[in-house]
Structure 1
Amino acid sequence: MSSILSNVLPAPEDPVLSVIFACRDDPCPVKLNLSVGAYQTEEGKPLVLEVVRKAEQQLANDLYCDKGYLPIDGLADFNKFSAKLILGDDSHAVKENRVVTIQCLSGTGSLRVGAEFLAKHHQQRVVFVPNPTWGNHPFIFTLAGLSVEYFRYYDPHTRGLDFEGMLEDLGAAPSGALVVLQACAHNPTGIDPTLEQWEQIRQIVRSKGLLPFFDNAYQGFASGNLDSDAQSVRMFVSDGGECLIAQSFAKNMGLYGERIGALTIVCTSEDVARKVKSQLLLVVRPMYLTPPIHGASIVTTILKNSDMYKDWTIELKGMADRIISMRQQLHEAIQARGTPGDWSHIIKQRGMFSFTGLNEKQVRMMAKEYHIYMTYDGRISMAGVSSKTVPQLADAIHAAVTRIP
């Protein structure tokens, strides 16, 4: 029988999935997968927050909870409290009704809805993303019909921020262009601008008439403090200008599989906000119609209850502090082995990921001989490192650097 689908070509290899599959197929009992961006305990297990368990138990005992469809824009209280979390308790934009928030399918879905909306209603078709950036960013915006360009971000020589290059590229961007900025804990580099640098970025973005789209996937994961990690976004909102914000509760609440997030658009007036919301609903309706209820209910339960909120901030800080501790331990272990080079970037970087500076040959050697897997650009998930695995990782890095240039 002839196949109607015989002309379908195989998809190109995904760099992250290929590493995951290689680790999966490795029979070694002491293998280590540092490619996945998900928090793990000291024992290498996924963590379910205690406050999440409490919230789920409360929902299970509530006989008034049902499984009916949510409105197209999602759970109303979830949207309200999500906007408050990123914009702050005293946001003038919220008080002036200039903010539109809709529930989406985690951070990826929030970016996708925002990209589709912009493709339909924004005249400028080019979007600038950091080089490097999260691997899904270019796909999301290209699929929506936008043209992706890059601005300089990472300096491989200093293993830090190429701030001058970033400002130069943003300054050369066409007026009205979109610019994707990660609010904190930059993926994949772990490098964030300082507050002073953020202010310079804000000034050039506004002076050039660029439209910022923040990817806020790690609020609380960089410093352990939700408000501190939101400062970059709040700088842009406080000047009265427009911006978009994609939020995710995958990392900071450990709700990876619940796919819960929000898209917030800050507008210049209440009238504009009302029009924007009407068009967002037209984007969502044919895409997935209505978002899932369970994850939104968990988040809302925690954000509405002051005791649960406090418990969440304590657990969140515990996760952030443990990652900071793993950075310190790894740095000390690398130094103790006399590994050539300056490895201070490991403790200067923030959040879940570290851009080690290892090249592809070194990464492949570590996988083959030490059974340690990471993406070929040398990015590792610090959330997957434990006190038990630090010596193994430090040994592998030392061997790779001393044997392969």
Structure 2
Amino acid sequence: MEKVPTRLNVAPVPPDEIFALNGAFFADTHPQKVSLGVGVYRTDDGKPWPLPAVEKAEKQLAEENDLMRHEYTAIEGDVPFLKIARDLMFGFEGKASEEPAKARIASVQTVAGTGANHLGALFLAHHMKPRNVWLSNPSWANHMTIWELAGVPRKTYPYYHAATRSFDFDGMMSTLENDAEEGDAVLLHACAHNPTGLDPNKEQWIAIADLCERKKLFPFFDSAYQGFASGSLEEDAWAVRYFFDNKPDMEMCVAQSFSKNMGLYGQRTGAFHYITNRSATSIRDVVVNNLCHLIRGEFSMGPRIGCTIVKKIMSSEELTADWHNDLQVMSSRIKSMREALYNELVRLKTPGTWEHIVEQNGMFSYTGLTPKQVYALKDKYHVYLLKSGRASISGLSQKNVAYVALAIDDVVRNVL
């Protein structure tokens, strides 16, 4: 048979590490296997946890049997949901005095946090044309892909100091000070930095905001863990709100996800907020219009079910209180697992220092393990984590933490 040449110019791309690792974990039949790869919350039994507040909301929605529940929404998304998402992110409480601040914010619904990041990158690439986007080194791997596809050149600023396993604030500030150019975008993790679990303190956030304002950089916040990281919605939004409240002449944007804090992983629920400066509020509706143009050509409108659940929870004082309790349950369990792993490693006298595990924040820990040690954990102990050494603390439990600590102790002692 004669071969017909293809018009495609394609080459294989590496598989996504997280999803490939998760697939390998599910195919593993070892009884003591442990997944520390994928970033999803698990109970102490290692099972998914539909939040009780979400389950109550779903039950109420089912009983209401709204005939419109499968209908289209607007291109910008569900407008009442967008107001809720905005108020949650920026701390609005419905006061009349807040209206001028709200007028700065153009909001649209997205396909979760990934969609918000992508839409924001595409919007800036079309309408602001930054020379570069600055990403932390390391950052969530998908940030690189998103900005690559948007066609914006990517540069990195130091973030992780490997020797001390700490946040490299001086390296970050020096690089942005010396090398970032006016109009460059700077990607900032609002809290629970992925993958390191290391966040700036409030004084450092203030200095970062001052630098962005002075050098006329554009802050792009990725907020994936509000309420999930610390248990406090206010604390986890502190950096975003500081920039918004204290730098009113600086434009910025926020990609917001409800995947982690409401457990709506598969519902793909998120929002993108573009914040104008206080003298340019007249363009807010034009910004929404242009965002809708991109949305219409890509996915037409955001998914309906997840945002309906968010609305149901946030419009009920009882369900909102339940949700706050759920956030405490999740954040407290993550913290307790950090302490348990640290205590086991100290008890075993595992070589090295491990304080960083309890000093880090949120779902992930940059353990400091080398790729060889990570591979040894998988091959010998069936413990799965990313080759960078990033571990999802949610995968730990009272049942497996001692086993994981023993495995780490062994590879640290015997695998260089």
Report the TM-score, using the length of structure 2 for normalisation: 0.94
1:368 counterpart = 2:379: yes
Q: Distance in 2 between matches of 1:96 and 1:52?
A: 28
Instruction: Say which SS state the counterpart of residue 244 (structure 1) adopts.
Output: strand
Alignment match, 2:412: 401
Alignment match, 2:142: 136
1:124 counterpart = 2:133: no
Alignment match, 1:255: 264
Q: Distance in 2 between matches of 1:176 and 1:374?
A: 37
- Displacement of 1:37 in angstroms is 0.2
The match for 1:305 among 287, 302, 316 is: 316
- For residues 148-191 of structure 1, what are the alpha-carbon distances to aligned partners after superposition, in whole Å with 9 as ceiling and x for unaligned? 11011000011010000000111120111000000000000000
CA contact (8 A) 1:93 1:237 kept: no
Alignment match, 1:83: 86
Q: Distance in 1 between matches of 2:98 and 2:214?
A: 22
Q: How does 1:2-401 map to 2 (within 5 A)?
A: 2=3, 4=6, 8-66=10-68, 67-89=70-92, 92=98, 95-172=101-178, 173-238=180-245, 239-240=247-248, 241-268=250-277, 269-401=280-412
Q: RMSD in angstroms over aligned alpha carbons?
A: 1.5
Instruction: Say which SS state the counterpart of residue 134 (structure 2) adopts.
Output: strand
For the structure 1 residues 380 and 96, does the alpha-carbon distance in structure 2 shift closer, same or farther, using more than 3 Å as the test? closer
CA contact (8 A) 1:30 1:371 kept: yes
Q: Distance in 1 between matches of 2:102 and 2:259?
A: 29
AA aligned to 2:207 is Q
Instruction: Say which SS state the counterpart of residue 183 (structure 2) adopts.
Output: coil
AA aligned to 2:356 is H
Instruction: Say which SS state the counterpart of residue 30 (structure 1) adopts.
Output: coil
Percent sequence identity is 41
AA aligned to 2:139 is T
Q: Distance in 1 between matches of 2:13 and 2:203?
A: 43
Comparing 169-178 and 210-219, the one that deviates more: 169-178
Q: Distance in 2 between matches of 1:96 and 1:381?
A: 36
Q: Structure 1 unaligned runs (5+)?
A: none
How many positions carry a matched residue from both structures? 405
CA contact (8 A) 2:19 2:38 kept: no
Comparing 12-21 and 235-244, the one that deviates more: 12-21
- Displacement of 1:57 in angstroms is 1.3
- Displacement of 1:242 in angstroms is 1.3
Q: Distance in 1 between matches of 2:268 and 2:161?
A: 33
CA contact (8 A) 1:31 1:372 kept: yes
Instruction: Say which SS state the counterpart of residue 233 (structure 2) adopts.
Output: coil
Report the TM-score, using the length of structure 1 for normalisation: 0.97
Q: Structure 2 unaligned runs (5+)?
A: none
- For residues 204-237 of structure 1, what are the alpha-carbon distances to aligned partners after superposition, in whole Å with 9 as ceiling and x for unaligned? 1111100001000001122110011100000110
For the structure 1 residues 94 and 297, does the alpha-carbon distance in structure 2 shift closer, same or farther, using more than 3 Å as the test? farther
AA aligned to 2:319 is M
Comparing 345-354 and 26-35, the one that deviates more: 26-35
- Displacement of 1:93 in angstroms is 6.9
For the structure 1 residues 394 and 122, does the alpha-carbon distance in structure 2 shift closer, same or farther, using more than 3 Å as the test? same
CA contact (8 A) 1:96 1:270 kept: no
